[in-house]
Amino acid sequence: MRRRLYPQVGAASHSHCRTSKMKTITRLLILFLSVSGICVFWGEEVLQYVLPQQQRSCACDRCLFENDTLAIQNISRFPQPLLSRKYNLSEEDFNWWKRLQPGGGSISDYRKKIEKVFQLIPDNPPLEASSPGYCRTCAVVGNSRNLLKSHYGPLIDFQDYVIRINRGRSKGFEADVGNRTTHHVMYLESASQLDNTTRPVLFTFKMRDLEWITRVLSTQPSGKKSLFNKDLAMVLNPAFMRNIHQVWLQKKGAYASTGFMALALALHICDEVHVFGFGADSDGNWSHYWDKVPNKKIKTGGHPGKVEYEMIEELASHQVLKFYKGW
């Protein structure tokens, strides 16, 4: 019969290993019982200390403006992106705003005109607050030709809010741009007819724009349909416009484009933002997806188009938004 080698040593080693495991299990059990006892003893006081660390402002994978700051340097939440009747625009913000386009006037004139606007639209724009149990998603749909043949339509329509810009349209392009619209942001000279359920978000660049709002929203002649539902109208805050230009875009260009300001607004009213239709197409054209023939002369004007595009890419790289570049 073959003898076993070193039977006593093997047995001792096995016994030592088993003893070590038992000690480890015993220590873990004691630790678990100790922590459980503390939690039971202190009750609500312990829970109040632990739970706030676990609370989140939304139910998305990522929540925007956690601790009021985006995951990118110097970008923080602006307290009032939309005007309300009680908002008192500072003279410094007003002076920046009135230089954007010809029109002139004093801050006193501005306040009188904006008071007339708020005689026609709601005093406080309805904005839903973030909720720990809900993830509000936005689709911001630009007007670039890179949307053509993208087939983004179903993904755009799937979002809670669908934000379109200026003359952006759906008819005939549903497969690529979707057919739902909840908010339509408009520079007033690019205003288009909206249905009765879409919220118009109006961007003003001069005094005459305020007069335009008052005129358009006042009682229409018999049989003439209003451009949009005034009970749903909202006006962008000039101080917010200045913040976007100076902080987000580092004062590049004369001022931000309507599209980029719409994107920044979406980051304030949604928990998750999907961005479509920004930038030139693959041939470098900045014309619109509904143009039958690309207009190679269309550029970005006073807007820093290249800087805005790079900023969107940077926001996407920090996972602040999701950027769909087209095909």
- CATH for 165: 3.90.1480.20
Residue 1 lies in a domain: no
Note whether 98 and 130 are same-domain residues.
yes
Residue 320 lies in a domain: yes
pLDDT at 259: 93
pLDDT in tens, 68-111: 888 887 799 999 999 999 999 999 999 999 998 877 789 999 99
Note whether 83 and 182 are same-domain residues.
yes
Greater model confidence, 49 or 216: 216
Compute the mean pLDDT over every residue in the chain, rounded to the nearest whole number: 82
The number of domains in the chain is 2
pLDDT in tens, 129-151: 778 888 999 999 999 999 999 99
Task: Tell me which of 255, 289, 309, 324 is the catalytic residue.
Answer: 255
Residue 279 lies in a domain: yes
pTM over 0.75: yes
* Three-class secondary structure assignment of 11-79: HHHHHHHHHHHHHHHHHHHHHHHHHHHHHHHHCHHHHHHHHHHCCCCCCCCCCCCHHHECCCCCCECCC
Give catalytic status of residue 245 as yes or no: no
CA distance 41 to 107: 62
How many helices and strands in the chain, by DSSP H and E? 10, 7
Note whether 214 and 74 are same-domain residues.
yes
> Which has the closest alpha carbon to 200: 120, 277, 298?
120
pLDDT in tens, 161-188: 999 999 899 999 999 999 999 999 998 8
CA distance 203 to 188: 7
CA distance 107 to 115: 12
pLDDT at 15: 47
pLDDT at 305: 83
pLDDT at 66: 80
Q: What pairs with residue 161 in β-bridges? A: 138
Note whether 35 and 125 are same-domain residues.
no
Give catalytic status of residue 184 as yes or no: no
Which residue has 């003359």 as its token pair?
Answer: 167
Task: Tell me which of 110, 187, 303, 324 is the catalytic residue.
Answer: 303
> Which has the closest alpha carbon to 316: 99, 73, 71?
71
